[in-house]
Each structure stands twice: as structure tokens, then as C-alpha cells.
Structure 1
Amino acid sequence: MESLGELLESMKSTALLRRTEQITEDLLRNPLIQALRSEYPEIDDRVIRLNLSKLYQYAGDQAHCQACPGLDRCPNDFQGHFSKLDIQRMNGTVEIYERKAPCSLQIAKTNEDQIKKRIRSFYVDEHALSEGYDNMEIMAKDRLRAPAVHQVFKYIRDTKENGLSPRGLYLTGSFGTGKTYLMGYLMHELAKAGHSGVIVYMPDFVEDLKTMMQDGQKLKDMVETMKHCDLLIFDDIGAENLNPWVRDHVLGSILNFRMNRLPTFYTSNYPLDGLEQHLSFTSKDGEELHKGQRLMNRIAPFVDVVHLFGENQRGKF
């Protein structure tokens, strides 16, 4: 819709007067304006003419909102917002003030943007995290997953009611059962409650650390982010090719800081004892059981194990 100013500017004075009268007549017949006049009898024809631009914009925005084509195609001058009128009585007359208010779709988008700002991912497909989550779909996708899903839902509910606990979850199951999806859902739901979160895909993270050793500041910033975020998810731990430096100085440092402070979450194809065996072996030094046990002492006591059963859903999400 063209603005009233643009409309009036394009007309000659005689045509302008005719058009002004037409707009005034249309507004007088508009149900929204009639409702305003019913509530505020002081809004007479003179007040309408004095506030023609505001009323015209108000009526136009409301008409667009009634036939909303979606936020991306919003035809209002200020996308995602509509004109709202504040009317004040002063000494027997009324003053009409116009302001822009966000619509419900804009409010939802703003809230979602704020949630996304609280979530960071390293080496995880951003598209997968941004697709959104559906509670009913999570429950109905595979009934074998129901016990694990209930445990995750309970964790989310308890955290929202009681605040962060230093205990996290260790989600274990076979390939493609939706472990990453379920942990992403947990992080997304708790981000709504104001918590910051980081999710790290371990195989790519460990591989990239080999080159990151040359950039000490980048490595430091990443490690500090992982240490201090409210929620930290190590996705697919056990699938990485560990070296002693990553295990003992990077992963060990992060977990040593977080234990008894902040919850850490894991997805893995290994059960806890299988992960201990994996962490005890590095490509450089071979098997070092005591070092694997040392790291597991920073994992196992601080998680509740969630066994995720179900069919391989790869390609179905």
C-alpha cells in the first residue's frame, strides 16, 4: 500500500481535494473507525480530517493483517509491525497518537532469534539445528525411543523449575537413532529459558585441533567458551581419533573446569565402559588405562545414562 504522503504528493490541488474527501468518506464507513467513534464520541469529522494520515495508515495496516501473507511478505510499511492508535482525552477533545507494534509473527521471530544467539555450534550442521523441533514428532517418530525421550523431557522440566544442575546426560545408542536430534532439542528448549549452549561434533573438532595449535588465541577462545557455557554437548564422543594432547590438555581441561559446576552432555555409540576403553587409547602412545580412567572420573560421576533404542532414522528426519 502506498503511503498517504506519496499518494497526496502525486496529485494536483483539485484532484488532491477530491481524493482527500474520498479517503475521508471511506474512513467514515470503515468498521474500525466506526468502532473508534463509538468508543470515543469526541472523534468527529474534524478530528478525522486532522488525523487523516494516522487513521488511513491504521486502517490499511489492519486490513493487511487480516489477510496476512506471512512475515516475509508483509506489505506493511514497517515489516512485521502494524499501526496502533493511542487515544487520550484532553479538555473535552481527543488527541490521537500512532505507534508501531510488532505482530505475533514478528514477536515469535524475535524470540527465536534470541534463542539462536544463545546457542553456538562447532562442526555441527547449522541447518539441522535451525529446522526446529516438534514435541509430538519426537514422541511419535519411534516408540522404542519413548523411555529415553521421557528422561530428556524430565531433565528439561526439572531444569526449568529448579535451575541448572551440575549433572548432565550421557545419551548412548546405536547409529541413527536420533541422539544428536534429541540433545539439540534439549539445548533449544533450555535456551528458551535463557541458558547458553554449545554443541560440538567431536570427530571434526579433534581433527581441527591439530591445525588450531598454530593459532593459540583461537584455541583459547574456543576452550573458554566451552568451559563457561551453561550447557555443553559433546556430540558423537568416541568416534574421534584421539591424541594425548587433545585428551589430556584440551578435553581434560574443559571437563575438569565444568565438573561440579556446570552440566555436560554426551552422545555416543559407546556405553560408558566402552568409552573408557576408547579414551585409554591414543594414536601416539597406544593404551594408557590410567589416563582413560582419569578422564572418565570427570565424566561418569556427573551424568545420568540414557539408553536410546530405536530404528536407524538416517534420511527420515
Structure 2
Amino acid sequence: MKEVSKDLGKYLNQHNWRERYNKILQKVHNDPDVQNFLRAHQSQLAPDAIRKGAAKLYEFVNEKEKLAKHEDTFAPGYKPRLIVNNHLIDISYAPEPKKIAEDNAAALAALVDAAKMPKDFKNATLDNYDSHGREVALDAALAFVERYRPGEFQQGLYLSGNYGVGKTYLLGAVANDLARKQNVHTLILHVPTFSVEIRDAISDNSVLDRVHKIQRVPLLMFDDIGGETQSPWFRDDVLGVILQYRMQERLPTFFSSNLTIPNLAEFMAAGKNGQDDSLKANRIMARINFLAKEINIEGPDRRTASVQNQE
């Protein structure tokens, strides 16, 4: 019977694999980073560490070359580095600065749940807020961010004003600044959209679960309240439940609306078939007044002005 080792050797020689393998090893061992690593850790490595770690050394050099050529790598965004593991050669992957920056940005974005909000909302900051004619609102927003402490209650803001004056942008600026400075988790609900979605949730019996999750958010913002189609069920069993919980637990809450608080009270008082639901509306408004103070924002339509500046 032929010896397996002789057959294997003959096969490798026929296909020049020994020569290829030796060239690979030579290339790996000549790599400056590999040489520096071996010199620096010579006393820590086992006598057969290089033989046993040949595959790791090759992986290191190969991945490093791919990075230099901007080719796809085994771990995109990570840079390979050699380490000593139990007296043998091993490889680990450390995130590159770009990857770290991207991960940090993603973590920051995750703190502000604003899936249904305008695109510029995500980039809003108090530093970039156009304060012309909006000084009072900006000062109040800055004061809130400055005083905010997790677990401590302070009144939020009820921002009223015409369409396009910067109410939603200011909500986003507060949320983004608190995320960046204190890792605060904020949920922003576009009320007209939310009212439709929560009504659809009746079909799968998920209304209560969604309400319970929403009412516990550290910082909650209702955008365009009063812009939804009036519904006694939404007012009492959804909005009322959330606001009651947040009032009891002293959780900061913000609002924006085209309606002033007195106008919103009239809107909330509309019941079925034209009946007057003032008592129920007053309960809602009492909670809103407890949770937030009204600030009216004036000034030109920011959206129209932005379009005109681009023309």
C-alpha cells in the first residue's frame, strides 16, 4: 500500500502548490507589520507559534492588502491586528475611525424615534435654529435642555403658531440636543398619522401594548396635535390615557399645533353627532396645561422662504 504522505507530496509538487505555499509564507514573513509583531512579542510566543499561526498571519496580510486597495474585506469597517492569545498568534478586528463615527451617529439617531417626521427634523439643532421672531421659543427650548435631568420633572413646551413657522423643527432640535448631550430617548409622534395607525391597531388587539410603550418614553413629543380627524375614542382612550400616565409619573411632554390651547379645547370638545363634550375635553386640556406651557411662534413660513432662497 502506498503511503498517503508520499501521494500527497507528489500531488502538491505536480500542481506547484508547495512553491505557491512557500511564496505565500515568504510574503507573510516579509511583511513589516508581521515582523514588528514577532519581534515585539517573541518572549510571549510558543516555539511553534509561527507554524501554528501561519493561517492567521496570512489572513492578517491579505485583509490589510484589501483595505489598502479599497476592496471588500472580511469585516467591512474593521482593521485587522495581530494579538497573542494563549502564547499563540491570533487576529482581532478593531473598528476604524470612520466605522466608529458611523456607529456613534447610528446610536445617536436611534435615541430619537422620528420615523414619520420631515427629513430636516433629523438634522435639527438649537444652534442652527432661525431665531428671528422666535426668540422667546428658542430661549424656552434652551432653558429646558439646560435644566433637564433624567427622572426630574419640568414642564415641556406647547408650541403654537401658523404652518411652517418652525414648530416641528424646534421639537427636533430639542430632541437631538438632549440625545447628543445626555443620551435621552425621545419619541416624536405626528398626531394625525398616529391617530390613523392606532385605529388600525384595533384589528390585531395591539392598541394597549402600543399605548403602554408610548406613555413610558422618557421624553414624548406630540407634533401637530389638533390636526387629526376628531375622534372621541382617540381623545379619551388613547390620548387621555397617555397624558394621564405622564402627568402622574411627571414625565416631560412637548406639543406642537396650529391651534392655540383655547382653540384646541374647542376642537377637543366636539363629540359625536355635534354633541358638546366639554367636560371630557377639559380633562384632556388640564393634563396638557400641567405638562406644558404655551409659547406662540410667529414669523414667516420657513418652508416658503427656503424654496425662494433656492430659486
| TM bracket (short chain) | 0.7 to 0.9
Residue 303 (structure 1) shift:
1.5
SS of structure 2 residue aligned to 1:55: helix
Q: Which amino acid aligns with 1:242?
A: Q
Match of 2:88 in 1: 95
Match of 1:280 among 269, 292, 304: 269
* 1:57-76 matches, cutoff 5 A: 57-65=59-67, 75-76=72-73
Q: Does 1:35 align with 2:36?
A: yes
Cα gap change, 1:65/1:204 in structure 2, threshold over 3 Å: closer, same or farther? same
**Aligned counterparts of 2:266 and 2:170: Cα–Cα separation in 1:** 25
Residue 175 (structure 1) shift:
1.5
Count of aligned pairs between the two proteins: 291
Cα gap change, 1:112/1:51 in structure 2, threshold over 3 Å: closer, same or farther? same
| Unmatched tracts of structure 1, length 5 or more | 1-10
In the superposition, the TM-score normalised over structure 2's length comes to 0.73
Match of 1:139 in 2: 127
Q: Which amino acid aligns with 2:238?
A: V
Q: Does 1:182 align with 2:166?
A: no
Residue 113 (structure 1) shift:
5.0
Cα gap change, 1:208/1:282 in structure 2, threshold over 3 Å: closer, same or farther? farther
**Percent pairwise identity:** 25
Residue 299 (structure 1) shift:
0.8
Match of 1:220 in 2: 208
8 A Cα contact 1:64 1:75, kept in partner: yes
| Unmatched tracts of structure 2, length 5 or more | 1-10
Bigger radius of gyration: 2
**Aligned counterparts of 1:140 and 1:166: Cα–Cα separation in 2:** 24
Residue 114 (structure 1) shift:
5.0
* 1:13-162 matches, cutoff 5 A: 13=13, 15-41=16-42, 48-65=50-67, 75-87=72-84, 94-111=87-104, 113-114=106-107, 120=113, 124-125=116-117, 128=119, 132-133=122-123, 135=125, 139-140=127-128, 142-144=130-132, 145=134, 148-149=137-138, 151-159=140-148, 161-162=149-150
Post-superposition CA distance 1:49-75 (Å, at most 9, x none): 5423212322333444456x5xxxx72
Match of 2:6 in 1: none
8 A Cα contact 2:137 2:297, kept in partner: yes
Match of 2:156 in 1: 168
